[in-house]
Structure 1
């Protein structure tokens, strides 16, 4: 066995001591302080340890004298000249969250390196979280390594060389490393000749890679390495690994964060103790220290829980404040059980348990003195319109008017027909107001609305024109709210009615709570009895002819067919039209006896509505569409949905498209044609083939694609989370949301003194938080 000599140990200790003296004795050359270094390296030199004991508390002049004496003891005959008096170093009194990072002792080029990572202030640095951690509390010696295992080890570089293999001409960097017990191994980097410049003989490095043992020889195929640089931040602990760029080392980032924590050990905590304690949340200074340099796994988990909670809390606060609806007094409706019983008894079918639950939640909101702001989300066919009808009936029984706004005329007409069927027998007067009506018809409807002769008016954006005047608007129901602009919604809500938003896009509760932070959420997660699930089949593109042979059979039975291709970017609208035309021509040649029409993105809204209306009246058999077919449009005779290049849609979007068929009482089918048949793609599409539960599919979509793509092309307003995970954090989001509501109910504009830090932090995070203005 080879042992490290006393002279080698003295040399390892001398170098950082010389750097400390040359740096002006600021106790910053070694992260954690010089005394931490002495604990690790000065065991054989007790006289040096005694000389430098209590170094941090000594005045600068005394530090310099003792360093010179220590270097002399270690055989350094010519210690470096002392530098000129150093500039005053930042202290906790002079450093704040918005202090520029260059005020910290970062070393040459530090500011530029951090700027490349978007880090400009102390606050940025403290919130520049590690992307993962490595347990380096007890790194194994080389003698204990097993063949084939992946390990992280530390060793001193004894020698290095660049070797070119004779057969394949591969360049190998080989370095012989020695551990602290004297055992050696050869570290190998494949085709990375630049590593030669980064390896310095005599330096200690930390390397991660796969072990290979051949007799007495041990090699390590290196995947990742860093220079330990004499620091104590890279080993002997749970070590943070940060997102980085070329030229910005992990050692530099750890040292920079350590300096920030030293300069600002007690950053202001925006969350008062009164809010933290009941939720078992640690304070912010502790959380920031532990997320970067955890004492153990439990401390790291507690730190992450606090910082994730903060992300969601500020997201919810932002959304609630942005909506301006956090604590509005609303109308109080009297909800009579006799009215609800009469409503149920008038229906030709029983309500599901989920519908009953949603009606209870909505009517409880209507009966309270706060303005209702509730999202009703449910799968296609789950019966949202009936639930809305119950709320409209309660409003009418209280003498108030209601409005239901749909994004298109065809949907508005559909809602009008359904609501008339549910409410007319109960004496509720329902009217339709859409752009296609004649001027005389519109004038008459407007008069009746103005004079209170109408209880419920159903329409499109025509409802929010200036000449629509309600006598007493008490309830607004908005279908597929994302189709309307914020100003359009606000125009309808001038009188502060209760608001019910409906969406047929099932999304996981965690995402609903962040996307619609200011809305309570009711979920219809149960389908009415008797509704048949759409039978779904996944086919590779080479078998697509089978899909169209089946389409011909359905048409021959008198049924109708949808064929959908992925939307092309708007900038390529002409290409989209050409693609649609080409597919339609191809199908006309393949199915000469089938009547085929197209729906594409270059059509106006009125043209699209006209095509859908003709399809509903069965004037043709097969519709080729390059746009997502309107949510909620009923074509009862359509029994087959064929989706080309299905891999280009999100799972939730595919489920939405599938819901366009099976609206009648016939067996319905959906065929997914996959242009990409890779294992990963087919696994994802199998979720649709095997499940018809929209909420399960949405959860899988969130896991597989992440929130950014969950709702197809609608990506605005999704939360920008550094630590949060929407697939796992539902309980945390609900807790943060509850606290946000509690805070804003007490202090709607965060003007109270105890909320000053909270308000400031919210302002600082404003640009980093994704939010949507929902109401």
Structure 2
């Protein structure tokens, strides 16, 4: 149970962060009073009283209350510093002309007109900082709007002009059309049309100046515009919406573009745009200053300033993301084990292998051994395609740890994969006098206890296992290196239990991820890539066919089965639903039993228990049947050398990276293997996408294509990775800028792990305000 002193410190951290963040009542989910109403506040009634009614206080009152509460936490016997309370809650005064506002000033202090603060708050903008960083989602060049006589039919254009006539008509019941004739500055005329939008009529009075965006329809010499976007322009705001490169913002009904431009303009004039990046860092990475970037994003003078702004603000997004990722956990930098990692031991290990390391394996092993020799804890991700030799590299690292007197552990997400790793480790390490053990849930209680005892007494050097390795009754004698396979399939708390003794950590993934995405999704890990396959591997032949050719495809499958081979058939889900998954798999299996009566067919699906799935896979590996109909549960780690055909039904429903993973379930033996993609949808776009997988066996090339086609949020596993929405970032093309931002983040934290230096106060404040995580705020 926590002591009062420990509880006091746990309460002090978020309250201090709230004070440092400008007293916005946003550091703690639910607010400060919710925090104090939790068990954490029970031992401190004076603190709860000091902060009673915190949400109703204005900024200075909140600050006084917080300082009083923190004083009480520092000295429990001090008299309570009660805040001075205003008799009534009044809106903060708007800034006087020329007055500078702090970035955390409430939005009501910006003079945005009647109801302006409420409009901005409805968009989630509560402070001056929020407005500055609500960037336009696109820009339009309105310096020279097009001459409509030269515009092609169907082209999307933006035009400006004055309303000279308007009319309303109803060609049939339930349809209302508004027609407006607009006179452009060049003297030309355009007819603008709105369908069933009567509410826009009040903005279309004669003489009103409008900026319209829409698609052109030509009727001889006359031009009609189907309006998609409307802006009204008053004389005072001409310079913000016309005659320049203009930003277009995310908005909602009732909040106009003109209003948002005016709000951004006032925020830029009122805010102190002090840069949180010192000049020498900006110079090193060719970054413009923050003021130029923010003005250039909202009101660029030309394309060059817009490009400078975009580059700087993208860099900042990645920098704060990398800082956040690197700061996750209890400490920014952990001390680890220091291994000898001798070259002669590496040569001994390789000499015992039936093959030689590839150049890519040697390069990655060099990166690993550099980490192992360091005092800092290794935290490295090794990515490699199926068959690239990740396990051999991990086994070598485990051997180096054992040679220095440490134990090693390899944790896999499933029992079948754990047993597979165990067999591989015995093959790699057994002849080198390394004692290898296995610990999985399916073992008998007696066998489990025996293995746990051997681990605790140091009678086992390397243990392969599942989550059984992190049960409370598992104690390692001297764990030096932990290898985690397919890390994204474990929860954070599960991983931390294995890493409690601060061993060096090696994470393996057979899911190729583009470098840019890996640097963000796994920002707290160094990255190594095995991008070369061993010589002599026969590439899998891949064929894309339409569903009309299904009969021929399964005829080919049957020919392979008659030759003694086995096959997978994978069915796609329309939606995530266990019942539908079961129906889809069993229905397909029944169909195939009719089409291929000679084949012995079984089913594997997500409703089965782990033990049931393992039993089916063990029987398939033993060739007890020929054809396995499965959902995507067989995607990772299954090794059946005799399986030579993978058929994927409705291939268009899968991402390219997932198709590549499924294809990797075959080709594990010496025989030529095949993958058949059956597409139920035949659009040109679908064919172009699936042709990429048909034409390439390089997982990283395919993953890059997947990222460009589908975006980072759709790629498997990244929705849960903690990556926030990046407003400007383009992960498909930003690898270089991400690497630069990561380099700077690591440099900053290496010299100042808590960002305590006075020159980093702006950076620290910005980092706190960009983070929505209570736990993360507590780190700094």
What TM-score, normalized to structure 1?
A: 0.83
Counterpart Cα distance in 2 of 1:575 and 1:684:
26
Q: 1:365 to 1:256 in 2, by over 3 A?
A: same
Corresponding position of 2:134: 128
Matched, 1:486 2:492: yes
1:472 positional shift: 1.5
How big is each residue's C-alpha offset from its partner over 1:367-425, in whole Å with a ceiling of 9 and x where there is no partner? 11211100001111111011111111211221221111111121111111111111222
Aligned partner of 1:756 in structure 2 is 761
Closer/same/farther in 2, CA of residues 582 and 228 from structure 1, 3 Å limit:
same
1:635 Cα deviation (Å)? 0.4
Question: Which residue, 184, 191, 212 being the options, matches 2:188?
Answer: 184
8 Å CA contact retained: 2:385, 2:512? yes
1:11-38, Cα deviation, whole Å (9 max, x unpaired): xxxxxxxxxxxxxxxxxxxxxxxxxxxx
Distance 2:764 2:378 in 1: 26
TM superposition shift of 1:207: 2.6
> Contact 2:544–2:678 (CA<8 Å) still a contact in 1?
yes
> Which of the numbers 672, 685, 689 marks the counterpart of 1:684?
689
Q: Equivalent residue for 1:723?
A: 728
How far the C-alpha of 1:467 sits from its partner, in A, is 2.5
TM-superposed CA distance for 1:654, in Å, is 0.9
1:441 lines up with 2:447 in the alignment:
yes
- Does the 8 Å contact 1:185/1:219 carry over to 2? no
SS in 2 for 1:482: helix
481-490 vs 501-510, which deviates more?
481-490
Deviations 1:496-551 (A, max 9, x none): 11110000000000000000001000001111111112111122223222222222
- 8 Å CA contact 2:479, 2:501 repeated in 1: yes
Using the alignment, how far apart are the partners of 1:383 and 1:401 within structure 2?
A: 22
Matched with 1:139 is 145
Question: For the structure 1 residues 329 and 91, does the alpha-carbon distance in structure 2 shift closer, same or farther, using more than 3 Å as the test?
Answer: farther
1:595-619 deviation per Cα after TM superposition (whole angstroms, max 9, x unaligned) = 1111111111111111111111111
For residue 307 of structure 1, report the CA deviation from its aligned partner: 0.8
Indicate the residue corresponding to 2:318 in structure 1: 312
Q: What residue number does 2:772 align with?
A: 767
Local SS of the residue matching 1:323:
coil
Q: Which residue of 1 aligns with 2:637?
A: 632
- Counterparts of 2:312 and 2:532 in 1: how far apart (Å)? 35
Offset at 1:112? 3.5
Q: How does 1:72-151 map to 2 (within 5 A)?
A: 89-90=95-96, 93=99, 95-140=101-146, 150-151=156-157
Residue 21 of structure 1: aligned partner = none
State the Cα deviation string for residues 163-200 of structure 1 (Å, max 9, x = none). Answer: 4569x99765433333345x131222152553433212
Moved more, 194-203 or 86-95: 86-95
1:719 and 1:770 in contact (8 A); partners too: no
Q: What is residue 619 of structure 2 aligned with on the other side?
A: 614
C-alpha distance in structure 1 between counterparts of 2:773 and 2:539, whole Å = 42
Between the aligned partners of 1:300 and 1:769, the Cα distance in structure 2 is 34
Moved more, 216-225 or 531-540: 216-225
Q: Which residue of 1 aligns with 2:263?
A: 256
CA distance in 2, matches of 1:299, 1:713: 33
Q: 2:603 aligns with which of 592, 598, 603?
A: 598
For 1:634 and 1:540, locate their aligned partners in 2 and report how far apart those are by CA, in whole Å: 28
Deviation of the 1:662 alpha carbon: 0.9
Of 654-663 and 120-129, the range deviating more from structure 2: 120-129
Contact in 2 for aligned 1:229/1:251 (Cα 8 Å): no
1:204 partnered with 2:203: no
* Residues 92/595 of structure 1: CA separation in 2 closer, same or farther (3 Å cut): farther
Question: In structure 1, the residue corresponding to 2:567 is in which secondary structure?
Answer: strand
SS at match of 2:608: coil
Q: Which runs of no fewer than 5 residues in structure 1 stay unpaired?
A: 1-85
RMSD across aligned positions (CA): 2.6
Determine the structure 2 residue equivalent to 1:234.
241
Does residue 751 of structure 2 align to residue 738 of structure 1? Answer: no
| Equivalent residue number for residue 88 of structure 2 | none
> For 1:523 and 1:389, how far apart are their aligned partners in 2?
16
Cα distance per residue 1:252-310 (max 9 Å; x no partner): 1111111211222x234332334323222222222111100001111111111111111
Measured in 1, the distance between the counterparts of 2:196 and 2:277 equals 48
Shift of 1:206: 1.8
Conserved 8 A contact 1:282-1:303:
yes
Q: 2:250 aligned with 1:243, yes or no?
A: yes
CA distance in 1, matches of 2:775, 2:733: 19
Shift of 1:162: 2.7
1:90–1:263 contact (8 Å) kept in structure 2? no
Q: 2:633 aligns to what SS in structure 1?
A: coil
- Residue 403 of structure 2 corresponds to 397
Tell me the CA shift for residue 149 of structure 1.
Answer: 5.9
> Is 2:649–2:679's contact at 8 Å kept on the other side of the alignment?
yes
The answer (yes or no) to whether the contact 1:720–1:770 under 8 Å persists in 2 is no
Secondary structure, aligned partner of 1:404: strand
Aligned pairs (5 A) from 1:324-403: 324-403=330-409
Contact persistence 1:141–1:179 (CA under 8 A): no
Q: Residues 568, 149 of structure 1: CA spacing in aligned structure 2 closer, same or farther, 3 A cutoff?
A: closer
Q: Kindly indicate whether the alpha-carbon contact (under 8 Å) linking 2:175 and 2:196 is maintained by their aligned counterparts in 1.
A: no
TM-score (norm 2): 0.83
1:562 aligns with 2:568: yes
Name the residue aligned to 1:296: 302
SS across alignment from 1:550:
helix
1:45 counterpart residue number: none
Distance 2:775 2:209 in 1: 43
How far apart in 1 are the matches of 2:149 and 2:447? 91
Contact residue 381 and residue 506 of structure 2 kept, 8 A: yes
**Aligned pair partner of 2:427 in 421, 428, 447:** 421
The runs of 5 or more residues in structure 2 that have no matched partner are 1-91
In structure 2, the CA distance between the partners of 1:453 and 1:92, relative to structure 1 (3 Å rule), is: farther
User: In the alignment, which residue of structure 2 is the partner of 1:670?
Assistant: 675
Q: CA deviation at 1:210?
A: 5.0
CA contact (8 A) 2:516 2:734 kept: yes
Q: Give the distance between the partners of 2:718 and 2:743, measured in 1 at CA.
A: 30
Q: What are the superposed Cα offsets for residues 556-606 of structure 1, whole Å, 9 maximum, x if unpaired?
A: 111111111124656x32232223222222222222221111111111111
CA gap of 1:176–1:393, structure 2 versus 1, over 3 A, is same
Residues 1:697 and 2:688 are matched in the alignment: no
* 1:343-379 CA distance string (max 9 Å, x none): 2222111211111111111111111121110000111
- Which secondary structure state, in structure 1, belongs to the residue aligned with residue 634 of structure 2? coil
Equivalences for 1:654-665 in 2 at 5 Å? Answer: 654-665=659-670
Residue 190 of structure 2 aligns to a residue in which SS? Answer: strand
Aligned residues: 682
User: In structure 2, do the counterparts of structure 1 residues 628 and 682 end up closer, same or farther at CA, with 3 Å as the change threshold?
Assistant: farther
Residues 633-661 of structure 1 deviation map (CA, whole Å, 9 limit, x = unaligned): 21001111111222222111111011001
Structure 1 residue matching 2:771: 3-state secondary structure: helix
Bigger CA drift: 436-445 or 504-513? 436-445
Match of 2:29 in 1: none
Q: Decide which of 563, 568, 583 is 2:588's aligned counterpart.
A: 583
CA contact (8 A) 2:94 2:109 kept: no
Corresponding position: 1:531 with 2:537: yes
Who is 2:438 aligned against?
432
The match for 2:546 is 540
8 Å Cα contact 1:375/1:519 also seen in 2: yes
Please name the residue that 2:6 is paired with: none
